[in-house]
Amino acid sequence: MRKLHGPPDLSLAPGHWVRRDLLAWPIDEVPAGVDPADLDWRLHWSPDGGIDPAAREPVSWGTDEVRLDPDGLPEPVLAERPQLRGYLCLRLGSAAAAQAEQILRGQVVLSLHQPSGRLVNAGALQHPGVLDELYAAATGARLGLSWHDEAPTLRLWAPTARDVRLRLWRPSDDLHAPGQAVPATREPDGCWSVTGAADWRAARYRWEVTVYAPSGRRVVTNQVTDPYSVSLTVNSTHSVIVDLADPALAPQQWREAPQPVLGHAVDQVIYELHVRDFSISDKSVPAEERGSFLAFTRDSLGTRHLKRLADAGLNTVQLLPVFDNASVEEAKERQRRPPQADLRALPADSPHQQRLIALTVANSPYNWGYDPWHYQAVEGSYCASLASAEGSGRIHEFRAMIGALHALGLRVVLDQVFNHTASHGQNTKSVLDRIVPGYYHRLSPLGFTEQSTCCPNVATEHAMAQKLMVDSVVLWARDYKVDGFRFDLMGHHSRANLLAVRAALDALTPERDGVDGRAVTLYGEGWNFGEVANDARFVQARQGNLGGTGIGTFNDRIRDAVRGGGPFDHDPRGQGFGTGLFTASNGAALNGDGYQQRDRLLSDTDLIQLGLTGNLRDYWLPSNSRRVFVRGDELEYNGGPAGYASEPDEVINYVDAHDNETLFDALTLKLPVETPMADRVRLNTLCLALVTLGQGPVMWHAGTDILRSKSLDRNSYNSGDWFNFLDWTMTDNGFGAGLPPEGDNGPKWDFFRPFLADPALKPSPDDIAEAHAQALDLLRLRASTRLFRLASGHDVRTKLTFPVSNTAHQVPGVIVMHVDDRVGAPSQDEWSSLVAVFNATPLPVRLPVPGLDARHLLHPVQARGHDPIVKGARVQGEWVRVPARSYAVFVRPW
* Active-site residue list: 488, 525
**Residues contacting residue 556 through CB under 8 Å, at least 6 positions apart:** 527, 637
DSSP secondary structure of 755-808: HHH-GGGSPPHHHHHHHHHHHHHHHHHHHH-GGGS--SHHHHHHHEE-TTTTST
Rounded to an integer, what distance in angstroms lies between the CA atom of residue 510 and that of residue 518? 10
Q: What is the CA radius of gyration of the chain?
A: 29
* Selection from 156, 159, 130, 161 nearest residue 145 by Cα: 156
Rounded (10°) CA dihedral 170, 176, 182, 185: 110
Rounded to an integer, what distance in angstroms lies between the CA atom of residue 770 and that of residue 255? 38
Question: What 3-state DSSP class applies to 46?
Answer: strand
One-letter amino acid of 519: A
Question: What 3-state DSSP class applies to 240?
Answer: strand
Rounded to an integer, what distance in angstroms lies between the CA atom of residue 519 and that of residue 105? 43
Is 131:160 a contact under the CB 8 Å cutoff?
A: yes
Three-state secondary structure along 138-189?
HHHCCCEEEEECCEEEEEEECCCEEEEEEEEECCCCCCCCCCEEEECEECCC
Rounded to an integer, what distance in angstroms lies between the CA atom of residue 655 and that of residue 558? 7
Beta-sheet strands, E only, within 395-496: 411-416, 484-487
One-letter amino acid of 98: A
Is 434:339 a contact under the CB 8 Å cutoff?
A: no
Question: What 3-state DSSP class applies to 844?
Answer: coil
The maximal CA–CA distance of the chain, rounded, in angstroms, is: 96
**Residues contacting residue 596 through CB under 8 Å, at least 6 positions apart:** none
The DSSP bridge partners found for residue 224 are 207
